Amino acid sequence: MTTSSSERGVSLGMPELPAPAYPDDVRARLEADAREIIARYPDSRSALLPLLHLVQSEEGHVTRTGMRFCADVLGLTTAEVTAVATFYTMYRRGPSGDYQVGVCTNTLCAVMGGDALFETLQEHLGVGNGGTTDDGKVTLEHIECNAACDFAPVVMVNWEFFDNQTPESVKRLVDDLRAGRPVTPTRGAPMCTL
């Protein structure tokens, strides 16, 4: 007969308290969205990545509540969901700023000035990789290739491209964002309101 770690008095360093549930109205809305997402896949567990995006959009990051929700609707364990949510850097585990500013520092962007842009922003904003400014406006992150090498160095703000950036232009960009002034992506139709 097997006994659980809690029955043996063994702590695995993880809180054993259940994650709080979403309020009923939020859960109902998320369940409707989840059903629509899950229906797109032949195997429901394949919907985990988009469901993590769904719960991240609810609170700005993936919470224990969000992971529990994903596990419940997909019939997975929270360990399986946690493993995926912590593996991918696109899922945030804590609150972040209104603007996600990502600087590509992969090979070509780095050679073309991406590293200098990142260092400039770290100094200008006073935060490191993954850090958020005190006003809660900007979270700075170094990102891997975003498939825009022909426009290097590239900065992304909330998934919008800002190509051929310089240290001066990137400081202006984040200053405008923090001040609430409009900014325009360098290509494509805007996907969000910046």
Tell whether pTM > 0.85: no
**Pair (57, 33) in one structural domain:** yes
CATH number, domain of 149, equals: 3.40.30.10
Which 8-state DSSP code applies to residue 99?
E
pLDDT of amino acid 59: 85
**Pair (111, 173) in one structural domain:** yes
Q: Could you list the residue range(s) of the whole structural domain that residue 129 is in?
A: 99-179
pLDDT tens, N- to C-terminus, the chain (194 residues): 444 433 334 334 445 557 788 999 999 999 999 999 999 999 999 999 999 999 998 888 899 999 999 999 999 999 999 999 999 878 888 888 889 899 988 888 889 999 999 999 999 999 999 899 999 999 999 888 878 888 889 999 988 899 999 999 999 999 999 999 989 898 866 656 55
pLDDT of amino acid 109: 85
Helix (H) or strand (E) holding 142: strand 138-143
Q: Which of 46, 62, 87 is the last residue of a domain?
A: 87
Q: Nearest-5° angle of CA 182, CA 186, CA 192?
A: 55
Structural domain contains residue 171: yes
Question: What is the distance between the alpha carbons of residues 118 and 114, in angstroms, rounded to a whole number?
Answer: 6
Structural domain contains residue 174: yes
**Pair (83, 106) in one structural domain:** no
Structural domain contains residue 119: yes
Rg of the chain over all Cα atoms, to the nearest angstrom: 20
The SS3 of residue 160 is strand
Q: Are 161 and 151 in contact (CB under 8 A)?
A: yes
Q: Which of 33, 53, 87 is the last residue of a domain?
A: 87
**Pair (126, 158) in one structural domain:** yes
How many distinct structural domains can be found in the chain? 2
Q: For the stretch 100-127, what's the b/e string if a residue is b when 16 or more beta carbons lie within 10 angstroms of its beta carbon?
A: bbbbbbbeebbebbbbbbbebbbebbeb
For the chain, how are helix, strand and coil distributed in percent, rounded to 5?
45, 10, 45
Question: What is the distance between the alpha carbons of residues 33 and 50, in angstroms, rounded to a whole number?
Answer: 10
Question: What is the distance between the alpha carbons of residues 138 and 91, in angstroms, rounded to a whole number?
Answer: 16
**160: which strand partners?**
157
Structural domain contains residue 8: no
pLDDT of amino acid 193: 59
**Pair (129, 162) in one structural domain:** yes
